Amino acid sequence: MSKPKILMFAPREEPKSIIQDLEGKGYELVWGDKAWTLPRGEHEGPLTEAARDTVALMGTSIRHTPISRRVMEASQRLRIVAKYTVGVDDVDTDAATDLGILVCHAPTEANCFGVAESTMAMILAMLKKVVERDQDVRAGKWREPYHGTTFLGARSDGYQGITIGLVGLGRIGKRVAQLLAPWRVNLIAYDPYIPPADFLLAGVKAVDYETLLRESDVVSFHVVLTKETRFMLRDAQIRLMKPTATIINTARGKVIDEADVAQAIKENRLRGAAIDAFEEEPLQMESPLRSLGHRVLMSPHSASFNEGGELRPGIAWATRSVISALNGIVPDNVYNREVISKWKERFGGAPVIG
């Protein structure tokens, strides 16, 4: 009798202990094709074929070849799609829920700290005009006047008077608040799912979304992509903001409308933006964001990347999730929790092996 198959859908050098753990429990690991991660080409067919008769799909992001309904329907035995990362944008979670399949993510501390640190770097780079000054020196300028600026750098009393608004006060938002505390900024946050005590402990004032947009000099997004957060910043919301405000997005590309942001910057209705995640990745060459010079700081969706194997904790978390699901146990970190009752009906707590 053949061993139950687990498809590792985004190939990567895995820790040997993870491979040994899964293979030691009697599963066969099937490795995906590196081409699935590339931005060009049609890879859904090969991925679907590889997913046939699998009991689990496991890996990191492959945004150019999403885990679609077609992929998940390739196996009636499929119990779980387990991601190494916090984001599940590349998984059709509605289809997974409809099919009775668990989708698990890995909101690890390593990811949280890396994104928070990159957010801090972006905030300070924009407020201190790091990119603008670099470009000036390269162009032969020297201490040219910075027209229309609001932030000339830290005064002797720090950044008091500057309001930074955090949209989302989960693990990353709280860490950003912690890192900002010594700068003595005015911190406000919007998150309807966080209890009041969490705002108090994080040292931030709870406000509604419109108030945050109106009052903030910097608006930083730290939300997962849901139906509620998709394009939560468009032209209508931008018009509530100060024309001197800056946007930071280290969350998900489709949280903000890039075209609306670019147009507002072009029309001087926003001071600038620092963006790590984009609506389409890689960023399209024709994107209007590319033409805005130092007013837009961009990063290739790498805010969480830190030296030292930042995915290892996520891999370990995903492995535990897969082992639990294949033993008939619901993991703790299920993203589509509304599927749990249906999943239990499908598999009845029965292990795959045993």
Two tokens, residue 140: 């032969």
pLDDT, averaged across the chain:
88
- List 290's β-bridge partners, or say none: none
| pLDDT the model gives residue 151 | 40
pLDDT value at position 197?
95
Q: How far apart are CA 153 and CA 157, in angstroms?
A: 11
Pair 87, 252: CB distance under 8 Å: yes
Q: What are phi and psi of 116, to 5 degrees?
A: -65, -40
pLDDT at 11: 61
Which helix (DSSP H) or strand (DSSP E) does residue 186 occupy?
Answer: strand 186-190
Tell me how far apart the alpha carbons of residues 141 and 82 are, in angstroms, rounded to a whole number.
51
| Residues annotated catalytic, as ranges | 252, 281, 301
pLDDT at 289 over 50: yes
Q: How far, in Å, are 93, 117, 131, 247 from residue 122 at the CA level?
A: 31, 9, 10, 10
Its pTM stands at 0.79
pLDDT surpassing 60 at residue 309: no
What gap in Å lies between CA 82 and CA 72, rounded to an integer? 12
> What is the C-alpha to C-alpha distance for residues 148 and 55, in angstroms, rounded to an integer?
59
C-beta of residue 291 within 8 angstroms of C-beta of residue 280: no
Residue 129's SS3 state is: coil
Reading the block at residue 137, the tokens are 């020196």
Contact at 8 Å (CB) between 293 and 281?
A: no
Checking if the pLDDT of 148 tops 70, the result is no
pLDDT tens per residue, range 234-288: 999 999 999 999 999 999 999 999 999 999 999 999 999 999 999 988 899 999 9
Q: Cβ neighbours of residue 39 under 8 Å, at least 6 residues apart? A: 64, 281, 282
Sorted by where each starts, the structural domains of the chain and their CATH numbers stand as 5-105+308-347 (3.40.50.720), 112-298 (3.40.50.720)
Confidence of residue 141 (pLDDT cuts 50, 70, 90): confident
Q: Flag whether pLDDT at 152 surpasses 70.
A: no
Q: Which residue has the tokens 């099937």?
A: 30
Whether residue 39 is preceded by a cis peptide bond, meaning omega within 30 degrees of 0, is: no
The values of phi and psi at residue 43, to 5°, are -115, 0
